[in-house]
Structures are given as structure tokens and as C-alpha cells.
Structure 1
Amino acid sequence: MSAPPLSAVLWDMDGTLVDTEPYWMAAETPLVERFGGTWSHEQALALVGLGLEDSARIFQSAGVRMSVDAIIDHLTDDVMRQLGETGVPFRPGARELLASLRAAGIKTGLVTMSMRRMARTVVDLIDFEAFDVVIAGDDSTRPKPFPDPYLQACEALGVTPDEVVAIEDSPNGLRSAVASGAATIGVPLMVSIAGAGAHAVWPTLEGRTAQDVASFHAEHRAKEAAK
């Protein structure tokens, strides 16, 4: 039986499509300090790829006396403000690869643990029609590392996971994508992705095209079929 062709590419947002992790970190430190606490770079790195509700509970344990929803809203507003001031900080090669996929007629989806209003802000700042579907943190039935966000994106696009490639930068995101059944590419940024299950690791998206993604997908599915 021949492997299914590549039908869709699903993108994580923070750290994969756009380098917004420094924006989140810039929002986190003053929030914790406002309540008399301290916040280290190591603590900030531990939140990369984590669902916002789980992150908010960690801030509560660090002394932030706000509700989970209030913490999420505060951080989201701060990051959106920074985006409004600076524009979309694409990771190297990300915009070009996304445009290449669109030109090739391959469906694209954004799968992020950020809130939908934040995701829409990023998408609306992109200067072309970038995504067919957006699954955000407030849409998912369970957050990453559960497979739900990727499975929901597949359902919304009318594709099966074996027709999909996912691109992620964090261990939680990779575990989510791999568990969904998608062929998964890791593009590390701020944290190590060793042991998270990526089927391939690309140091950068720079110079990559839709054909590179399609070739990776075909090779991965051929290996799976041969097992």
C-alpha cells in the first residue's frame, strides 16, 4: 500500500513560526516581581511549550495573587502590546516556507497554546492568507503535550494525521504532535528537544521549501510502512 501524500502542514506558533518567547519572558518577570517574588531565566525556560493554564498555576505558586484567567489575560495583553509595537518576529525561513506551502496548494494550520485573540493578532499581521485553520489554547479540549490540539486541527482541515507534517520547537509540542500520529519536525530554539520524539530535527527553516517538507513526509511514511 502506498503512503498517503502530504495534505497539510501544522505549525506551532511561539518559538516555531515566530520568535515570541522573549516577549513572554519580558512579560513574566515584572508580573512576579509585582507580588514580591523573583523569576529566573531557568524558570521561564521551563514554561516553553506549556499550556497557559498550567503556566498560570506555576505563577500562582511563585506568589502571584491573581486568578488563572487574570494571569493569562495579563500576559497575553502584554505580549500582544509588544507585537503591536514590533510587528511579527518571524523565525528565519518561516515566512518563506509558509508562503511556499501556500503556493504549492498544501493546507496549513496554526496549532498554538496561546489564546485565540493572540493567535489572531499574529495571523492578521502576516501579509498574505497564511492559514486555513487556527487551533488555539482556548479551543483545545486538552493542551499540549496531549495530542488533542493536533487532532482537532486535522479534523478541521478534513485530513488524517498520516497526511500531515507538524513543525514544533518545544518538547511538549513535539510530544503532542508525535502522539497525534503526524510526521514531526523539530526546529529547536530556546530549549533542548532531545528525547521528545521528533522524527527529524532541522536546525533552521532557512532555505527550506514545500518540496523539502513533502520529501521528509514521504520518507517518514515509507519507513513507517516498512516496519
Structure 2
Amino acid sequence: MPAPRPTSGPPLPTAVLWDMDGTLVDTEPLWNAAQQALLAEYGGVWSEALAASLVGRPLDEGARRLQAAGIGLDVEQIIARTMGEVAAAIADAVPWRPGALELLRKQSATGVPGALVTMSHAPLARVLAEHAPDGALTVVVTGDQARAGKPDPEAYRLALHRLGEHVPGLDPADCVAVEDSPVGVRAAVTAGLPTVGVPSVLPLPAGVATVEWDTLAGRTLADLAAVRPGPAPDGRG
């Protein structure tokens, strides 16, 4: 079990809400390899533009784009094939992003609850959650649980609702989200969350994230607690 929250010391966020792919773990190369191989199997053509269009998006949306590129399988088959390969790779060796595991360990040690808010589906998210420090990811919200994917804020609002069951009176402004993609940042900010953007594959538009960091390496929970909300961008509510 995680330790109880300390009663003194640096300020802590009430909760941390984490994106998964590209933020906690460097899975984009794994997704690209699985999707590219499947596309090649059906004679389709992979491109950097196609790869970029899939980043941060719901898996069913990505599968439809892969169908349009030439994969002759239905959406669920594409998701199952590619997600299965990524899950197996993570189970073999989790490709943590710099600083991510250290922050999760600090959450576990201080009792700060966390949520995993990902457009990947539950079978893959469970693999990562099982490898996270005890108590660091109290809540898991996945793309197959949300009716609307990022950049819609629904997944983050659902995560906040579930975190509120553990933390009565939870205020989104006292929490922080961590995201790597433009669509993910927009979803978190629109949900009312102070948001740290840590770009991995795609650059982030200027001024959308509350703050932008080059890396999580060397960062502390006090750094996350110091991130304060700004005005929400135009987006889907």
C-alpha cells in the first residue's frame, strides 16, 4: 500500500492524471512497428503523415485510418492485432519515459493518487498499471470506456469523477495532468486541469498547455503542484 500523505513538507498535487503512450511510456515506436508491419502485410503504404495522424487518437479512429491506407481487416481486428503486439512488448520490458517512473514512485511514497487516462484500450492499460508502483495509478480510464476520444475532455472528466470517490471534494484546479500530444493536452485543459505538456513525437502548439517541459527527468511532485491553470482553449466541451 502507498504511504499516507505527509502532513508537512513541500506542497503536493491532490492527484496526478497521466496520459500513457508517449508520456509515461515510449510506446509510439512499438505502435508504429506493429501498424507498419500490418499495413505491409496488406500491401499498403506507410508514411510519416499517417504515423503523425495516429498519435494520441482513439484506437478505433486510428484503425479506420489504417483501413483507408489498405488494411483489409475490420476495426476490432486491427486493434487486437496491433495492441496485442504492443502489450507483449511492454510486459517484456516497460519502456518508461525519462523521469516518469521516478514520479510514480514519489506518488506511491507520499500517497498522492493518480489516474491513467489513455486512448489505448483496457487490456494494454492493465499491463502498464500492473507494472506501476503500488497506489500510483488508483484509477484507469481507457479509450474503450469513453464515448468520445481526445481531444474531447470526457475521459479526463470520467477520471476526475472516479478520483473524487477516493478524494471527497476533489477540485480539478488542485490536480495536474501530464500529456505529450496536442489532442491530449487540449482534452486535459478543457476538463479544467492544469496541464504539463511534455512533447514526444509531435510538437505542441504554443500556449495550449499550462506549462511545457522538455522532460520529466529531475522533476518533483512539488514542481507538479506549482503548475496552475490558465484559460481554457477553444475546444469541444
The two structures have a TM-score, normalised by structure 2, of: 0.86
Query: In 2 relative to 1, CA 100–127 (structure 1 residues): closer, same or farther, beyond 3 Å?
Result: closer
Shift, 1:184, TM fit: 0.5
Is 1:73 the equivalent of 2:84? no
Contact residue 151 and residue 184 of structure 2 kept, 8 A: yes
Contact residue 101 and residue 209 of structure 1 kept, 8 A: no
The runs of 5 or more residues in structure 1 that have no matched partner are none
1:31 corresponds in structure 2 to 38
Is 1:56 the equivalent of 2:98? no
Query: In 2 relative to 1, CA 83–207 (structure 1 residues): closer, same or farther, beyond 3 Å?
Result: same
Tell me the amino acid that sits aligned with residue 50 of structure 2.
Q
Three-state SS of the structure 2 residue aligned to 1:88 is: coil
Contact residue 145 and residue 176 of structure 1 kept, 8 A: yes
Aligned-partner Cα distance in 1 for 2:133–2:187: 29
Query: Please, which moves more after superposition, 121-130 or 187-196?
Result: 121-130
Aligned-partner Cα distance in 2 for 1:188–1:22: 15
| 170, 186, 191: which one aligns with 2:202 | 191
Trace 1:83-162 onto structure 2 (pairs within 5 A).
83-85=90-92, 87-158=93-164, 159-162=170-173
Aligned-partner Cα distance in 2 for 1:129–1:107: 7
1:198-217 deviation line (CA, Å, top 9, x unaligned): 0100100011111111122x
2:15 corresponds in structure 1 to 8
1:43 corresponds in structure 2 to 50
Aligned-partner Cα distance in 1 for 2:107–2:37: 39
Aligned-partner Cα distance in 2 for 1:167–1:46: 20
Trace 1:214-225 onto structure 2 (pairs within 5 A).
214-216=225-227, 220-221=228-229
Contact residue 146 and residue 176 of structure 1 kept, 8 A: yes
Aligned-partner Cα distance in 1 for 2:196–2:171: 17
CA RMSD of aligned residues (A): 1.6
2:89 corresponds in structure 1 to 82
Aligned-partner Cα distance in 1 for 2:128–2:175: 23
Aligned-partner Cα distance in 2 for 1:205–1:57: 33
Query: Please, which moves more after superposition, 203-212 or 101-110?
Result: 101-110
The two structures have a TM-score, normalised by structure 1, of: 0.90
Tell me the amino acid that sits aligned with residue 122 of structure 1.
L
2:9 corresponds in structure 1 to none
Contact residue 18 and residue 24 of structure 2 kept, 8 A: yes
Tell me the amino acid that sits aligned with residue 214 of structure 1.
A
Shift, 1:54, TM fit: 0.6
Is 1:19 the equivalent of 2:26? yes
Shift, 1:102, TM fit: 2.7
Contact residue 187 and residue 202 of structure 1 kept, 8 A: yes
Structure 1 stretches of at least 4 aligned residues deviating more than 4 Å after TM superposition? none
Aligned-partner Cα distance in 1 for 2:140–2:222: 23
Contact residue 104 and residue 132 of structure 2 kept, 8 A: no
Aligned-partner Cα distance in 2 for 1:196–1:119: 29
Tell me the amino acid that sits aligned with residue 44 of structure 2.
G
Contact residue 18 and residue 88 of structure 1 kept, 8 A: yes
Aligned-partner Cα distance in 1 for 2:132–2:111: 18
Shift, 1:83, TM fit: 1.8
Identity between Structure 1 and Structure 2 (%): 43
Aligned-partner Cα distance in 2 for 1:209–1:24: 29
Aligned-partner Cα distance in 1 for 2:172–2:58: 22
